[in-house]
Structure 1
Amino acid sequence: MRERRFRLVGIFYIAAFILFTAFPIIADDVISKDEYGARRNTLSESIVDGVILLASPGIKDKSSFSSIENTPFYDFYYLSGFYGDDPEKLSYLAIVPSERITILFSDISFESRTKVLENTGIKHIFPSIQFDRFMKDVLADEKVYTLKSVPFYKSLSETKVDVNDKKLRGTLTTMRMIKSEGELNIMRKTADAVSNGITNAMKQVKPGITEADVKKIISDGISKNTGVTYHNLGMIVGSGPNSTIIHYDGDKRKIEDGDVIVCDISPAYNFYATDITRTIPANGKFTDEQKKIYQLVLDTQKAAEKELKPGVTLAELHKIADNYIKENGKDYYKYSFGNKIHYLGHYVGMAVHDVGGYTAKLKPGMVITIEPGIYDKEKNIGVRIEDTYVVTEDGFSRISNGVPREVTEIEKMMSPN
């Protein structure tokens, strides 16, 4: 197979000069090509035989790309650092572990090929049309590791080719759960920008404006003085009765005096997300009842924080937070997140709700949220507080600490004086 494979690569190179016709989008060089190469090598050390195959459509407009849930794109980009610009066309990634060879099949221009090499370290780049030939000539007697989500999974699994989904999925999940310093730097930068956006809202929100107005204020604050362009600015802004709706997706309501406003903001930059939520009083001052609920939610979050360290699981943190409200705010428990409303938190990474299991023991470099909430529909008071955390050797770092969360801090920030 070795001779045959290299012979095929040579043929592809000749075709590459003729058939590259379209232009790709190359992501900003934040994650280095050395890191992308190290990821592919780590994967090859875990899966030593056969061929690893991934596929992903292109992205025409980053601003319309959803980073809320994990998709096949993230695994592709995590290993390649590349995405095409046509949603109607697939790009393919083939990794041959035994040869330490990575091949990208995508319709990109020859002029852009140099940029791909500089950004990703991938040397073998061929037109998509060559992928079918690769499938026939190289995969005929090879074991294939791929994901059920790729478009060719069904046809492969119906052949005599040995197709394995679980090992690749498990290995990629384990790798993506632990973030490098390069990944964390992007996420910190995003968190700082979100903090700026929510702080902007605290300074400008007032009764009489709409939820859409608040979104605009936050968006402007995120973009201001950041020097970067963010994409997929996921945003929930719910006021009054809408603050009690977990995934509220409207923005038409006019904010009234005495409302609380839940601002749940989850943008992504260079395909790495963060997730921060604050609840603020529309008129700058919490009522006694709002303050009581808010403090209970904040204390619940802090109770979970105290136990956040390597070795604990998200499931255990959820139980800690759930028990705290049961013991310290039993009158509110029926409105609590833990009463079958939502989970305490989730992993964050390339997707806002990133890969990872709730019973997996946390390790340094993993990134999670802690987001307890109480949603009293009878009083139209919804309170959620969410922060993003990096697990460290001795505990955690709260990367969303740039936005106030104490009652006194929020009211001071919102004071006209």
Structure 2
Amino acid sequence: MKTAVVLFTRDLRVRDNPALAATCANAERVVPLFVFDPKLQELSANRAKFLHEALADLRDTLRDKGADLVVRRGDPVAETIKVAREVHAEGIALAADVSNYARRRQRDLERECEKHRIALRSFPGVTVVDPGAVQPGGSSDHYKVFTPYHRSWAASKWRDEVATPRRITLPDGLAVGRMPAQPKGESPDAATGGETAGRRRFSTWLDHIGQYDDLHDDMAADRTSRLSPYLRFGCVSPLAVANAARDKGGAGAEAFVRQLAWRDFYYQVTNAFPAISTRAYRKSGDHDWRSDDDALQHWQNGLTGVPVVDAGMRQLRAEGWMHNRARLLTAALLTKHLGVDWRPGVQWFFRWLLDGDVANNSGNWQWTAGTGNDTRPYRRFNPIRQAERYDPDGVYVRRYVPELASVEGKAVHQPWRLPDDVRRGLDYPAPLESHRDEAVWLRP
């Protein structure tokens, strides 16, 4: 093959990129292409900024290899076909994905490629194990429960990591296009995007993976990898991350790799149920939710009066990221304690999260709300007990809720129990009316 196009989507890296590696091995000239879809840019200012940083880093890396990142703006299918025809490409490659948007893009691209007699091939790379690669016996097309999925996932044969292309040659005369102005983002303390930043973060954190099993739920210690945004945009290869963790061995590595399996689990669920962001996976769990715009707004602003929840919601705004335990507690408060629909919660997280994606954001929200893949859909998280267990000294709460900085120890988790004169001086709200009854917090 003389010329081919690689359409980058959520695989913004050169290392272990199957679509890029295969194309470079089989074509003399390669066009690395990214198309900015204006509709996606409007979904999250935080992710738009992270994406821009990742693409700038990718462009630098491709230039080091003798090529460049070709940038276009508009409909991804139309722009990809236009570039392919301009360079007389014989083939187009891209990473397979599971969302409705990604599926529609690939279907439309297949139709246009057939019309213009261009070969189209999709490749793995978004997950460790391809969605659909492991399936349960019987009539089901996907695993509905994590534990049996994890057994099959761990026992399956993973693909081999692919080599990084040494040099990439662009066709002559092709305008590479200018990158748009970098968006500002909304979170002042958000991580920087890109393969370089992602690999650096993982390399540094890998030395501490032995502590992961003991400390990943310690909210104050902040010992999770924080790799989720880099995995979401494909700045790092999930397979390479899993292999490196496995090579380390030990309980910490095993616990971390299990989290990567959870990520893959929701991708295979979404592959079978692409409406996961808007429709309940378990219809029986989607009861009549309470409409309460005031409660929703207090929750969004981190002013529920429940310190650990408010800390999580403020971390979300400040960093475009939230500790996983806080994600469970904030989602549980909205759905299980306030009775508000999970879908506004999904959308709020989508706005702020750097790692917000259809599969994992929606899957985890449905798990917490009791509408998703949970064998105990009616479980309730007591936020006070959870806070006392995972933030026993109140360090996490005081980090993000400065109004409570003067409250010592675990008393910070229940400021409404402080003496009246102390409580009045905190400038911190009482718990929302709907769960002011202390008995709510004592339910198992």
- Calculate the TM-score normalised by the size of structure 1: 0.26
Structure with a larger share of its residues in strand: 1
Greater length-normalized contact order (CA 8 Å, ≥ 6 residues apart) = 2
Structure with a larger share of its residues in helix: 2
